[in-house]
Structure 1
């Protein structure tokens, strides 16, 4: 039975050194990722960016499994998840307002 994976579980599926790098990006910018919308036309709600990335990565898990059962794939699940995790990485800074970005930075400065 399939299940929906959290963003942390999906990052855990990445090979090193990408796993550590992506986990660090999430850790350092979690507040921003959880509050910013994902765009102006879709994923426009608060937290839409992280919902979009998590949904896309979950779809990738299913598609990789299904297509991999039908034919040999020239890329690993780790490769696919990495590309999807990074594909919209600029959006939190492009669609977030400056106040949200500063709050996210301040929440991380204690680390």
Structure 2
């Protein structure tokens, strides 16, 4: 969801509270996302064809963006949910759109 910028930063609150309480480490957050990725890849069992869902049916740009977001999500240990989302949007702002919006009109 971070890659598509569809959800509010609040969606990261459970991770943030677990990190703050010591009940979760940064490595655990990374493991969760890798587990989610492998779960998605195995959603359609095709033992003879391997990871067919990723190779044929899943948009490579979305998969690459998801994997690239792992280091960003790990910053949740030191940033608030909103700071993380803002940093993500600024870092991933496409060059084709021009400079990152700033000032009172910026989101």
TM-score class, shorter: 0.3 to 0.5
- The alignment's TM-score, normalised by the length of structure 2, stands at 0.35
Greater Rg, structure 1 or structure 2?
A: 2
- The alignment's TM-score, normalised by the length of structure 1, stands at 0.34
Higher helix share goes to which structure?
1
